[in-house]
Structures are given as structure tokens and as C-alpha cells.
Amino acid sequence: MRNTTLALFFSFLFFINNITAQENTTNQEKIIEKVELFILEKKLDSANFYIKSAKKDSYTEILQNIIDEKNLSYKDYLDFIFKSGSKSSVDYNKVSEFINTVIKTPKSSKINKDYVEIKWVQISEVRNNGDLTSSSLMQTELEEYVNKFNDKDIDVLKLKTKITTHHIVMYLIEKDIEKGKALVLKGLETAKKIDDKELQITFLYHLSDFLILERKLQEYIDVSEESLRLEKELPKKSHFYYSTIEHLIDAYVFKGDSNDKVMLLIDELYNYPLRRVYSYSLYVELISHLDKSSPLKFEILEKFKVKDVSELILKLEDLSKDLNSNNKLSFIQAAARAFYTHGYTDLAMSYKDKAIETTQKIYSQDLSQSLADYKTEQALKGKQKEIEHEKEKTTLYGIIALLAFVLFFIALIVLRKINKQSKELSEKNSLIREALKEKELLIKEVHHRVKNNFQIVSSLLELQSKGIEDEKALELANEGKNRVKSMALIHQKLYQNETGLVDFDEYIHLLVKELSALFKSDNKIDTSIKSENMNFDVDTAIPLGLIINEIITNSYKYAFTKGKENTLSISINKENDDNFKLIIEDNGPGLSDDIDIKKTKSLGLRLITRLVKQLHGKLKLTNDNGARFEILFKDIHARGLVD
């Protein structure tokens, strides 16, 4: 009895020590995170205050030296930049600003590997955050540094090969598979030749991106598994280890035959603190592919101490609040699928709406316009400074000339000043015209990139839909894909049109052609389109295009049958100074007479109602030998007067 009591006592002490150790580790991590953030925000006094309460180790010594503004090695700076930049709660723009301020180009005669690694990571993160211009400028500067060294040195050859990944990703963004894949295979060949396993992993990771574009799922899986095999031969995990795991999870979930392996991979992400926040959407994605009675489902519920899927998703959504917009969109889409799979239809519809709203926020015209305005503003400021500098020089020359030739050349000075003012005015006008041209080009480029991004989203939706067997879920995915295509088509017309407006006659013809091809209908359909000279701004074009897409899609799905003359009529005309009228009608069976459009559960009709309200419009729905949608709406000018 005495021995049993002692055993219980020591077990209790061991349990208490474990809890204390975990709390100490958590407190240390929180302190370090605060110190890192204060350093990045240049609040060194606050950083110095908190560092004193941290446990002393090699990393806290690095932090203290940064606070004291001592000169550190590039390796120490790399350690700080990698650890602080890996946290999801840290805005990488602050890390990038720290690099630009503190990290100077080495002057040594031998290449500095740590400096190249710092700049390579910075370029990758800045590019992944969407700033392609800045990342490309940084890439040019890095190449100038690296190209000064002879690649007969194996370190130089390795680094020259590694930094080509920026061009590979740019080819990926442009969907230039031929050039991008060729550059990847060349880098992989060099990595194998010099037997550098970490470099091989780098290029295998980028190879997998092109394989998914080519829809080679099994090769994608094989390449990712090969990367993990090589990882086991490294002394520490590579920069791509956890990203490769995420690739494999997506692939196995899509394939649908390795759920136990998927669970192990997600758990590995969860157990790594810096990647835990990214594991939440993957748990939800796995749940969306599990049966209601699956043991894995209950294992996940038990892991997070929740009683059902609804409670799990709400809890994980709260834990994911620090994610950026793109990762939040992935979580919302996975949540919508999981809700639908497990019978929460209303929540599934709600999250589907939320996904559409999030997509519009990410790729909104306001965001695109802000980017174009910002770049144009910077260009104009630079040119204005040049003009002011030239004016100061001209004034100084005039004073000197006046002192030297006060009486004799007074008439000549007057004429010279007049000529110079005319020339300056002409140059100023020329600069303004150039700036306006640059702005137009920037706006076109923004529309082009937004169109490309919508196409990427559409491709992802199409890829995701391949694994959906449930007809209702597949229909929802295809409808989402059609809405994205409708918005992409708007931006395509914007960058092709010099006026910055969308020609809706051409747009409707293209949209009808796309939908006809999509539904592959054998029914003969007589389509009439009357919308000549109807041109709208982007803020009107996007909701109007979505409305037309929803109504025409509804006609193709329900109105047309074999053995009769099917008709579809679309018209837009100007009613008066303030209103336009859109009429779409078909000769199908029509909608139910007792339908209440304000209370309908149909996602399409709810979306139409919301978009009509956005256009300050009115919707009239009637059944007259078929469904007839009559919508009065205002363009952006008229809406501005009302607001």
C-alpha cells in the first residue's frame, strides 16, 4: 500500500512538471513573438523591455544584438528573418522593409550564401503577396550580384540555379507551361549533377505546379512523394517540406482513396506550431469527403472537443481569423462543401455566398483601381519633382545671367525666358500625356491580371468538381465556376477596349455562346439579342453580367426541351435619362406562380435580387408563355446622383 501511494505521488509530480514545462515554453514563444514584432515596427525600447523576461539562448542573443543595433552576420539575420517571417500573424511587408533597411549588399570577393538566401526568400514572399513588380526588381538586383561570380565555384552554380525559381513562378502565373517546365527540368538536372538534395526538392516542388496544370495527378503525387523521400536524407527540413505535405494532402483528398494517410499528414502540419493555422482548412476539407459515420470524422471531432461538424467548423474558423484573404477563401470553400456533405444545407448555401463575396473582394475593381492609381501617383510625383528641379536651375541661371549682363543683354534675357517658359510648358504637357498613357496601360494590365486570376479560380473550381460525385454539389460547383467566368469575361472586355467600358452586345453574344457550349444542348434554340450601343462601366457591368448569366443559365437548365421551337430573347435599352431596362424571356414552362422571390431558397434567384438592389433597380417576374424577367436599373452616373 505504501509503495502504491509513493508511485501515485511521483506520477502526480511528473504531471505537474510537464504542465509547468509546457507553460514555460508557451510563455517563451509569446515573449519572442512580441520582441520580433517590436523590432519589425522599430519600437526598440519596447523590444528591449520584453527581451529581459525571456529565457536566454542563442536566438534571444541574436534578438538582443539587433535591439542594440550591433552588426550581425548574415547568418544571424537570416535566422531572425526566417523565424519572424514564418509566423502567420506577421505582415511580411514589415519583414521586407526590415530587409531593405538593414541588409546591405556584401562587398566580399567570395559569394555570400546567407545574403542570397535572405534575398531569395524575400523575393518569393513579396511575389506570393501579389507585388510582382517589386519582386522582379529585387530579382534583377540579386542576379546582378550573383552574376559577378564565376559559376565554376559549386556554391555559385548552386545559387545561380536556385534563383531561377522566380522566372519559373512568373511562367506559372502566365500559364506558359512549355517555357516554365523547361526551366524547371534544367534546374533539376543541375541539382542532380552536383548531388544537392535540397536543390532537387526545390525544383521538384515547382515541377509539381506544372504537373497540376497539365492535370497529371499521379505524376504530381509521385513527384511530391519523391520530395519527402529526399527530405529524410537532409539534416533538417527544407523550406518546401510543409508546402509539399500540403500538396500531397490536396492530391490524396482529391483522389479519395488514402484518408488515413491524409489524416497523418494533416496531423504533422498541426503539430508544427508555425503551420498549425494552415491545417484547419485541411481538416475541414477532409471532413467534406468523409461519410457521416466515418471513424475519422469522429476522431477529428474528438481532437477539437466538439460534438458535431457545425461546431467544429465554427471553432476552426475562429482559430483561422489571422489567415490572409486567399487562405480564408480556401477555408470558406471547404466549409461550404463540408456543411453540404453532412446535411447542413442552409449553412452550405450561406458559406457558398460568403465564398462569392470573398472572391469579389479579392479581385474587386476597387482593389485593381487603387493599385493603378497608386502607381500612377508615384510616377507623377517623380516627374513633378524633376520639373520643379528644372525650374530651380533655370531661375538660378537667370539670376547669374542678369548680374553679368544687366544692361547690355536685357532684351535678350527677356526673350530667352519667354522661350524657356514655352519649352517647359510643352515638356510638362508631354510628361502629363506620358503619365496618362502609363495609367491607361497600368489599368489595362490590372484588368488582364484580374481576368487571369479569375481563370485560375475557375480552373481550381473545375479541378475540384472532378472529385464530386453528388449531383447537387457538382451543380453548385459548376454554377460557381460559371459566375467566375462571367466576371472574367467582363475584365477581358475591359482590357481589350480602349474606352474602359464594356460593349454589352458583344459580351452577351459571347456569354450565350459559352453557356450553349457548356450545357451541350441538342435542343434547337432561336436566340434574339438586342443591345446595340449599350456600353457600361465596370461597377455596372459586373453585377449586370452576373444577372444575365444567372437568368440565361436558368433557361438552359429548365426551359428548353426537344421537339419544339425553343426561343430565348434578350434586350437592353435606355428607358429615360436615369434608367435602363433589361428584358430576358423564354418560351419554357415558366416559374411557379406562387413563388415569392424575396423568400426563395434558390441561390440563383437570391443572387439576382441582391445584384438588382446593388444597381438601384427593380425586378418584375412574370409568366407569359414562359418566364419573363424585366429589370429596371441605373448606371454608375445615375446611382451616384441618387447617393
CA distance 541 to 31: 50
Give the dihedral of Cα atoms 605, 610, 615, 620; nearest 10 deg. Answer: 40
**In which band, very low, low, confident or very high, does the pLDDT at 259 lie, cut at 50, 70 and 90?**
confident
Q: Is the pLDDT of residue 640 over 70?
A: yes
Give residue-wise pLDDT tens across range 583-632. 999 988 887 777 776 677 777 788 888 888 888 889 888 887 888 999 99
pLDDT of residue 543: 86
pTM: 0.52
Mean per-residue pLDDT, 163-171: 90
Give the per-residue pLDDT at 199: 92
Q: Where are the alpha helices (DSSP H) in 322-404?
A: 325-341, 345-362, 365-404
Could you tell me the pLDDT band of residue 22, with boundaries at 50, 70 and 90?
Answer: very low
Confidence of residue 10 (pLDDT cuts 50, 70, 90): very low
Q: Return the pLDDT at 204.
A: 92
Least confident of 8-17, 209-218, 480-489: 8-17
List % helix, strand, coil for the chain (3-state, nearest 5).
70, 5, 25
**What is the predicted pLDDT for the residue at 383?**
52
Task: Out of 209-213, 268-272, 459-463, 615-619, pick the least confident.
Answer: 459-463
Q: What is the pLDDT of residue 381?
A: 40
Q: Where in the chain are the domains?
A: 1-70, 262-343, 363-500, 518-643
**pLDDT value at residue 454:** 57
Which of the two residues, 445 and 376, has the higher pLDDT score?
A: 445
Q: Cα–Cα distance between 491 and 455 in angstroms, integer?
A: 11
Q: Considering only CA atoms, which of 170, 165, 187, 73 is closest in space to residue 120?
A: 165
pLDDT of the residue at 542: 83
Numbers of helices and strands, H then E, in the chain:
26, 7
Asked if pLDDT for residue 369 goes beyond 50, the answer is: no
pLDDT for 127 beyond 80: yes
Between CA 480 and CA 197 the distance in angstroms is: 41
More confident residue, 23 or 262: 262
> How far apart are the C-alpha atoms of 330 and 279, rounded to whole Å?
11
Share of the chain above pLDDT 90, in %: 13
Nearest by Cα to 628 from 568, 579, 576: 568
Check whether 435 has a pLDDT greater than 60: no
Q: Is 19 a residue whose pLDDT tops 80?
A: no
Q: Which residues, other chains included, contact 49 with Cβ-Cβ below 8 Å and sequence gap of 6+?
A: none
Residue-wise burial string across 618-633, b where 16 or more C-beta atoms lie within 10 A, e elsewhere: ebebeeeebbbbebbb
Question: Percentage of the chain with pLDDT > 70?
Answer: 71
Residue 320 is classified by DSSP as: T
- Residue 33 pLDDT grade (very low, low, confident, very high; cuts 50, 70, 90): confident
Q: How confident is the model at residue 144 (pLDDT cuts 50, 70, 90)?
A: very high
**Predicted confidence (pLDDT) per residue in 48-107, tens digit:** 888 888 888 888 888 888 888 888 889 898 888 888 877 766 788 888 899 998 889 998
The predicted pLDDT at position 374 comes to: 33
**pLDDT computed for residue 50 by the predictor:** 85
Q: Could you name the CATH architecture of 518-643?
A: 2-Layer Sandwich (3.30)
Please state, in angstroms and rounded to a whole number, the distance separating the CA atoms of residues 343 and 487.
30
* Pairwise pLDDT comparison (450 vs 619), residue with the higher score: 619
Give the range among 91-95, 265-269, 358-362 with minimum mean pLDDT. 358-362
Cα 584 to Cα 341, 433, 529: the distances in Å are: 35, 43, 9
Q: What is the mean pLDDT of residues 12-41?
A: 65
CB pairs under 8 A, 24+ apart, for 202-210?
Answer: 202/162, 202/165, 202/238, 202/239, 202/240, 203/165, 204/230, 205/240, 205/243, 205/244, 205/247, 206/165, 206/168, 206/169, 206/172, 207/181, 208/244, 208/247, 209/172, 210/172, 210/177, 210/180, 210/181, 210/184
Q: Which helix (H) or strand (E) holds 486?
A: helix 471-496
